[in-house]
Amino acid sequence: MVTLTAPAGATWTRVNFASYGNANDTNADGIGDSYSVCNAINTRTILRVSCGKNTITFRADSATFEPNE
């Protein structure tokens, strides 16, 4: 399980980028920032339920994100 918690009194307001799979690191900073061919296309949509909440907990697995093969 993964739990993401915003600072006290704050809520998540957006999901800029989310990728369950192998994200590409286009600027070599060690952070995935673009989608690869191995990516669950619905990752960002699923995580958008966190908007307006302080904490979200989810399973980071194929059953949750149904990756493309």
**The model's pTM:** 0.67
Residues 6+ apart with CB under 8 A from 27: 33
Coil/strand/helix, residue 2 = strand
Whole-number pLDDT of residue 7? 96
From CA 29, how far away is CA 39, in angstroms rounded?
A: 20
Q: What is the DSSP string of 7-62?
A: STT--B-------SB--B-TTSSSS--B--SSB-TTHHHHHGGGBT-SEEEE--SH
Question: What are the tens digits of pLDDT across the range 9-33?
Answer: 999 999 888 888 778 888 888 877 7
Q: Which of 40-44, 52-56, 57-61 has the highest mean pLDDT?
A: 52-56
Per residue in 29-50, pLDDT (tens digit) is 887 778 777 778 888 888 888 8
Element at 5 (helix H, strand E): strand 2-5
| 54 vs 27, more confident | 54
